[in-house]
Amino acid sequence: MAWTALSGLAPVYPLYALLFLDTGLSAAQVSGLFALWSVTGLLAEVPTGVLADRWSRRGALVLAGVLEAAGFVLWTVAPGLPGFAAGFVVWGVGGALVSGAGEALVYEGLAAVNAEDAFVRVQGATTATELLVQVPTALLAGVLVEAGGYALVGWASVGVCLAAAALATRFPETAPTGDDDGEGGGGLRSAVAEALRRPSLRMAVVAVALLGGLDALEEYFPLMARDRGVPTELVPTAVLVIALAGAAGAALAGRLAQLPSRALPVLLALSAVLLAVGALTGTAVALAAVALSYGLYLAVLVVGEARLQEQVPGAARATVTSVAGLGIELSSLLVFGAWALGAAPAVAVLFLAVVPVVALGLRARVRAP
């Protein structure tokens, strides 16, 4: 959690869109940069997971921090479309390295001391920390940009990323708890073949991929707040309230994990209903419904991620987690499409559509062989 908090403190996070615009880029160019970032992550997701399994999950986290720092160096010393694009490519690879290696490293460390059941609590606390750290990050960004402009923000972000990389070198790394048909990490088959090897694992990967993709709704929270009459200057506060509700839900996931598996789809369905209420109500009270919906959703997501880890063979843990991460990136496109078709009500329908998949994919707690 300390590493999560530190890595999330890079003050450039809440400001980089403004940096691009203030440097002279058009809205279309900014969208193009975001698309490049997304495509880089998609292409790097599974290869970096395989790298972490074959090489070192701790090393992958260290390299991720160094690469992210390098991306921010490019933004700071070469502000402009080419520099921003190169920085996003480097950052995209770094983010992909974290995607598979992070959960694998934590789960294997817990498994080494026979504490796998604690993973859901650790993952919940980590997700909550990622949301809560947005508060000091926003405050820090405001102070730094006022004191030294985007250059100071950029160099401070480089320092934060390198500090996170240094902290990652201290993480203990244990041998995987299982193997891949006796081949070990160096003899892995393709990541997709590994993810599809057992029907139960395949369904868990699909369920987590669809479930995780729903988090793309977060991008639209500012629009939902403004559409419900919240003044522009108060929109950040409204979004922060939703984020805090999400943090609370993630933190409570450990208790939710003790419920029967059939409770997960029920809670996700309730989240969808609350989202629909928030989408169809034109008052600020609607944001309370959205906040409750997001809290329930993140609690279900954290439990789902834990259920997936319970089924993954140890030697392929980062690889299969990255396959799920790739699915999350792809399924987030469903949220974007649903919003384009019918805004929040359409996304609520998408939430409901995912419920049966969650019921099938996460119904059993099966330990990996």
For 120-139, write each residue's pLDDT tens digit. 998 888 888 888 888 888 88
Query: What totals of helices (H) and strands (E) does the chain contain, helices first?
Result: 15, 0
DSSP string computed for 143-212: HHHHHHHHHHHHHHHHHHHHHHHHHHTTS-----SS-STT--GGG---HHHHHTSSHHHHHHHHHHHHHH
> Between 210 and 232, whose confidence is greater?
210
Is 366 within a domain?
no
3-class SS at 180?
A: coil
What is the structure's pLDDT at 368? 53
- Report the domain count for the chain: 2
CATH of the domain at 43: 1.20.1250.20
**Same domain, residue pair 101 and 8:** yes
Is 228 within a domain?
yes
Give residue-wise pLDDT tens across range 304-316: 999 999 888 777 8
- 243-261 mean pLDDT: 90
**Same domain, residue pair 45 and 124:** yes
Residues 11 and 157: beta-carbon distance below 8 Å: yes
Residue 365 confidence class, pLDDT cut points 50, 70, 90? low
| Burial environment of residue 360 by CB neighbours within 10 A (0 to 12, 13 to 18, 19 or more) | middle
Residue 192 confidence class, pLDDT cut points 50, 70, 90? low
Is 297 within a domain?
yes
DSSP string computed for 88-142: HHHHHHHHHHHHHHHHHHHHHHHHTTT-GGGHHHHHHHHHHHHHHTHHHHHHHHH
What is the structure's pLDDT at 177? 54
What is the structure's pLDDT at 364? 53
Q: Please state, in angstroms and rounded to a whole number, the distance separating the CA atoms of residues 128 and 105.
A: 19
Which tokens in the block code for residue 13? 């996070």
Question: Comparing 4-8, 64-68, 175-179, 343-347, which segment has the lowest mean pLDDT?
Answer: 175-179
pTM: 0.79
Name the DSSP letter for residue 12. Answer: T
What is the structure's pLDDT at 191? 54
What is the structure's pLDDT at 63? 95
What mean pLDDT is reported for the chain?
A: 86
Is 178 within a domain?
no
What is the structure's pLDDT at 184? 43
In order of 42, 133, 185, 287, the CA distances from 114 in angstroms are 34, 30, 21, 41
Please report, as a single letter, which amino acid is at residue 367: R
Which tokens in the block code for residue 148? 């030294």
What is the structure's pLDDT at 78? 96
What is the structure's pLDDT at 314? 75
Whether the per-residue pLDDT at 220 is higher than 80: the answer is yes
Give residue-wise pLDDT tens across range 13-64: 888 878 888 899 887 888 788 888 888 988 998 899 888 888 898 999 999 9
Q: Which residues contact 115 (CB under 8 A, 6 or more apart)?
A: none
Q: How far is CA 364 from the centre of its chain?
A: 24
- 317-327 mean pLDDT: 88
**Same domain, residue pair 23 and 151:** yes
Q: Which of 138, 168, 198 is the last residue of a domain?
A: 168
pLDDT above 90 coverage of the chain, percent: 39
Q: Please state, in angstroms and rounded to a whole number, the distance separating the CA atoms of residues 265 and 366.
A: 18
| Burial environment of residue 321 by CB neighbours within 10 A (0 to 12, 13 to 18, 19 or more) | buried
Please report, as a single letter, which amino acid is at residue 360: L
Four-residue CA torsion sign, 222, 228, 296, 212? negative
The domain of 289 spans: 190-361
What is the structure's pLDDT at 350? 96
**Phi then psi dihedrals of residue 149, to 5 deg:** 70, -170
> Between 257 and 292, whose confidence is greater?
292
- 140-167 mean pLDDT: 92
**Same domain, residue pair 264 and 140:** no
What is the structure's pLDDT at 160? 94
What is the structure's pLDDT at 232? 66
Whether the per-residue pLDDT at 182 is higher than 50: the answer is no
What is the structure's pLDDT at 188? 57
Q: Which of 102, 133, 168 is the last residue of a domain?
A: 168
Whether the per-residue pLDDT at 90 is higher than 50: the answer is yes
Is 67 within a domain?
yes
Query: What Rg, from alpha-carbon coordinates, does the chain have?
Result: 20
Of 327, 329, 318, the residue nearest 50 (C-alpha): 318
What is the structure's pLDDT at 88? 93
| Burial environment of residue 147 by CB neighbours within 10 A (0 to 12, 13 to 18, 19 or more) | exposed
**Same domain, residue pair 163 and 260:** no
Whether the per-residue pLDDT at 248 is higher than 90: the answer is yes
Name the DSSP letter for residue 172. Answer: -
